[in-house]
């Protein structure tokens, strides 16, 4: 039996539930599936106005909040014109099935026993929701970073459904450099003596340390030197250090260590070419129009990775987002990003 609860008001959190087993690419099985999602706007009579937003690592379905300059009435992703959907990826801790969900076998949260999920599994879950919402065609699937990985994977998986894709600051196969950053963050999580405990506050100190490591890959040398310079008083410490600790604590207050561990492993799995004859072959088979956006100061997903996508996908164009903010510019420099999006006929 499958049940979906549709939003009564724009942006209201809704839940899709399926009691059918969800088989995972890595061989595991989720006995049931829950997806938290939000929608804005109305589906057009021809069903040709759907924009599906895929969020990044620690994001959620509330796209009008974390992308407030991009999504909303009169904005480039105009909720007066488009039917906008944003679903929380599985493996997270914001309502979709993840490590804090109850394992029906034990009656306790899965914790670190939650099975390996991949980007491909996340997209398959999105496809289940798409079908339940009676969406037959998606005008554009859009996402940055890990969300961009999902957008690319979806363009490969459903070439006759995805009309256009906008992957931002992402790659077609996660790099050894990116995997090394994620592995370092997981090492920080695992070094916390409470991490493997199955409780709500497990691994909080490790999560703070992991986030501090991650911040170094999301920002730039110039940004730290410009905003986190040392104070005059060496007794009171350094702004760069207090910034790292602040960012770690901010994530602890809104996220869970087990979800972070699960999602970084999923990101590492990303390879659109797995089982498809290689990354290039998979990209060349994409039918969708594609706007690929890279960030000139991105240390984690350098522009060469986006250029590779553009070189392979038959109908792809490239735009550069210039920013000193690094990888997180797709969240921090939204006005500049909006201008690049507005220049594409995808959103006209």
Catalytically active residues are 145, 298, 327
CA distances from 61 to 87, 160, 245, 322 (A): 5, 25, 26, 27
- Smallest CA-to-CA distance from 165 within 181, 180, 176, 154 is with 154
DSSP class per residue in 158-213: -TTTBSEEEEES--SB--HHHHHHHHHHHHHHHHSTTTTS-STTTTHHHHHHHHHH
d(CA 224, CA 243): 9
- Asked if 53 and 165 count as a contact pair (C-beta separation under 8 A), the reply is no
- Asked if 76 and 342 count as a contact pair (C-beta separation under 8 A), the reply is yes
Long-range contacts from 230-234, C-beta under 8 angstroms, 24+ separation: none
Nearest-5° Cα angle at 44, 54 to 97: 30
φ and ψ of 316, to 5 deg:
-120, 145
Residue 34: partners with Cβ closer than 8 Å, 6 or more residues away:
15, 16, 17, 18, 95, 96, 97, 101
CA distances from 163 to 44, 50, 151, 285 (A): 16, 10, 12, 14
What token pair was written down for 297?
């100061």
- Asked if 155 and 165 count as a contact pair (C-beta separation under 8 A), the reply is yes
Q: In the beta sheet, which residues pair with residue 123?
A: none
DSSP single-letter state for residue 325:
S
């Amino acid at each position: 039996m499958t049940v979906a609860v549709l939003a009564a008001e724009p942006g209201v959190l809704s839940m899709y539930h399926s009691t059918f087993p969800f088989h995972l690419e890595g061989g595991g099985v989720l006995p049931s599936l829950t997806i938290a999602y939000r929608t804005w706007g109305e589906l057009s009579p021809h069903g040709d106005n759907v924009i599906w937003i895929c969020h990044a690592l620690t994001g959620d379905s509330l796209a009008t909040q974390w992308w407030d300059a991009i999504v909303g009435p009169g904005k480039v992703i105009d909720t007066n014109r488009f039917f906008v959907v944003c679903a929380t990826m599985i493996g997270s801790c914001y309502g979709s099935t993840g490590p804090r969900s109850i394992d029906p076998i034990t009656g306790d949260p899965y914790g670190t026993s939650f099975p390996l999920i991949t980007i491909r599994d996340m997209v398959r879950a999105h496809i289940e929701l798409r079908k339940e919402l009676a969406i037959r065609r998606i005008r554009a699937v859009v996402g940055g970073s890990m969300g961009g990985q999902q957008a690319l994977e979806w363009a490969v998986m459903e070439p006759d459904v995805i009309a256009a894709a906008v992957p931002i600051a992402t790659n077609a196969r996660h790099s050894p450099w990116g995997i090394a950053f994620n592995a370092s963050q997981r090492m920080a999580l695992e070094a916390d003596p409470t991490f493997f405990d199955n409780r709500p506050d497990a691994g909080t100190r490790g999560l703070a340390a992991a986030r501090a490591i991650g911040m170094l890959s999301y920002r730039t040398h110039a940004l730290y030197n410009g905003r986190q310079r040392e104070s005059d008083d060496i007794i009171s410490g350094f702004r760069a250090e207090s910034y790292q600790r602040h960012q770690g604590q901010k994530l602890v207050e809104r996220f869970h260590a087990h979800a972070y561990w699960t999602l970084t492993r999923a990101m590492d799995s990303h390879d659109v070419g797995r089982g498809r004859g290689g990354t290039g072959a998979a990209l060349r088979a994409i039918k969708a129009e594609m706007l690929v956006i890279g960030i000139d100061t991105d240390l984690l997903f350098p522009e060469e990775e986006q250029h590779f996508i553009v070189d392979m996908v038959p109908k792809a164009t490239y735009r550069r987002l210039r920013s000193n903010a690094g990888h997180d510019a797709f969240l921090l420099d939204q006005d500049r990003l909006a201008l690049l999006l507005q220049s594409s006929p995808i959103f006209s």
